[in-house]
């Protein structure tokens, strides 16, 4: 399967599927490979037709089976100092380089190769493949695939999300909500700045409230020692406003996120920030009635918290030979499969996120070989019915 996997990976990397661009050419290519092997494939396009999810099944119908899940979009390469062509697979020092090799076309290539292999086997339990788009911008694209599975008569019994974990079995990650604070002041000439209301100053005051809540959570909030950062985090990623230095800006926008532990009362945290926003502007309204800081939710995805003794955990540990489990700092589509479909899910895939989203992204050949070995073992279990 190795030579097949490498050929597939090279072709996948050659498709520029940055989230802002279509992925349909890649999906049509994968669909053609799978259908040529007799595998049933369904594309689920978005409204534009330029992007699509893919769902494929090989093996008997009417049985749950195991689903391999991966996303096909990648992050941009602009502004990064690549020494190798980002959309061409190259090899060196036991590594395969290219955008998405780690996050996560390496796993997708292994999964497609496994589907082709499984199609030639007398499976007693089916193997499913779920490929999505727009994961990198909030796990947005997979939701139409989830709606399709929600209406299906039979759902997969287990799911393996192949995000890079170094082939360790990961049972959890934090949930995330992305938010925006829009600050409204009053414009004016900077020579008369005290007579205006600077929206950027309001944004700075609100940013201080976000930092204050983060400091509190770091000391007194929920804890989970399985994470590198063992508490819920708040992070401001972008603040914008103003036209030029001699104009007091009347609008500023601040984008921030909350990455929450299981059990965290996220609505309460948002309410506290809204209360802080009101406390900032309330004293100003007598002079500036338009003063406001409004907080809106942009998007979110749930965390994943699969029990360490769950059947899917023991099953995948048996495939990899792992003794323990980990939790990962980054988000995945796993929480959506688990919470919205009730499919027990773990994360296990080749590579390390330390190499993802960077110039000269790579995955080691050793990691891909370990992933292939896991999938060979999986097919063996499907042949005997688990």
- Catalytic residue numbers read 73, 135
Cα–Cα distance for residue pair 204/326, rounded to 1 Å: 37
d(CA 68, CA 375): 10
Backbone φ and ψ for 130, nearest 5 degrees, come out as -120, 115
5 touches 372 (CB < 8 A)? yes
CB within 8 Å of 220: residues ≥ 6 apart: none
CB atoms within 10 A of CB 205: 16
Contact 374, 171 (CB under 8 A): no
Structure tokens at 173: 């990650």
The number of residues in the chain equals 386
Alpha carbon 166 to its chain centroid, in Å, reads: 17
Residue 309 neighbours by CB distance under 10 Å: 9
d(CA 40, CA 59) in angstroms, rounded, equals 10
Yes or no: say if 133 and 46 are a contact pair by the CB < 8 Å rule: yes
- Contact between residue 74 and residue 136 where contact means Cβ atoms under 8 Å apart: yes
* Residue 128 near residue 57 (C-beta atoms within 8 A): yes
Cα separation, 224 vs 231, in Å, equals 6
Contact partners, residue 361, CB within 8 Å, separation at least 6: 86, 97, 98, 99, 100, 101, 102, 103, 355
Q: In the chain, which ranges are E strands?
A: 40-45, 52-58, 66-71, 90-92, 95-97, 127-132, 158-161, 170-173, 175-184, 188-189, 233-241, 247-248, 251-260, 292-301, 304-305, 326-327, 345-347, 362-364
Give Cα 111 distance to the centre of its chain. Answer: 18
């Amino acid at each position: 399967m190795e030579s097949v996997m490498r050929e597939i990976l090279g072709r996948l990397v050659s498709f520029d599927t940055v989230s802002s661009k279509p992925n349909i050419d890649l999906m049509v290519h994968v669909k053609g490979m799978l259908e040529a092997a007799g595998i049933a494939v369904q594309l689920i396009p978005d409204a534009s037709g330029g992007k699509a999810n893919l769902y494929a099944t090989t093996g008997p119908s009417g049985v749950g089976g195991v689903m391999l899940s991966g996303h096909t979009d990648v992050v941009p390469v602009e502004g990064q100092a690549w020494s190798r062509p980002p959309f061409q697979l190259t090899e060196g020092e036991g590594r395969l380089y290219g955008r998405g090799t780690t996050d996560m076309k390496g796993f997708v290539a292994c999964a497609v190769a496994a589907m082709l292999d499984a199609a030639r086997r007398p499976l007693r339990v089916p193997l499913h493949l779920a490929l999505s788009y727009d994961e990198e911008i909030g796990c947005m694209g997979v939701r139409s695939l989830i709606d399709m599975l929600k209406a299906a008569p039979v759902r997969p019994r287990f799911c393996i999300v192949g995000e890079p974990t170094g082939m360790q079995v990961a049972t959890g990650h934090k949930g995330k909500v992305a938010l925006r604070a829009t600050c409204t002041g009053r414009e004016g000439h900077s020579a008369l700045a005290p007579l205006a209301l600077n929206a950027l100053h309001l944004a700075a005051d609100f940013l201080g409230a976000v930092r204050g809540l983060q400091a509190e959570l770091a000391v007194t909030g929920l804890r989970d020692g399985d994470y590198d950062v063992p508490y819920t985090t708040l992070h401001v990623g972008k603040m914008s406003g103003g036209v030029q230095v001699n104009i007091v800006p009347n609008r500023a926008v601040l984008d921030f996120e909350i990455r929450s532990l299981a059990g965290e009362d996220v609505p309460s945290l948002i309410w506290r920030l809204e209360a802080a926003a009101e406390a900032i502007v309330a004293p100003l309204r007598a002079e500036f009635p338009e003063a406001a800081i409004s907080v809106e939710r942009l998007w979110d995805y749930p965390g994943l918290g699969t029990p360490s003794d769950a059947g899917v955990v023991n099953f995948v540990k048996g495939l990899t030979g792992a003794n323990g489990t980990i939790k990962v700092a980054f988000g995945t589509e796993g929480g959506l499969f688990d919470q919205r479909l009730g499919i027990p899910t773990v994360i296990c895939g080749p590579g390390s996120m330390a190499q993802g989203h960077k110039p000269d992204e790579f995955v080691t050949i050793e990691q891909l070989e370990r992933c292939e070995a896991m999938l060979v073992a999986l097919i063996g279990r499907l042949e005997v019915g688990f």
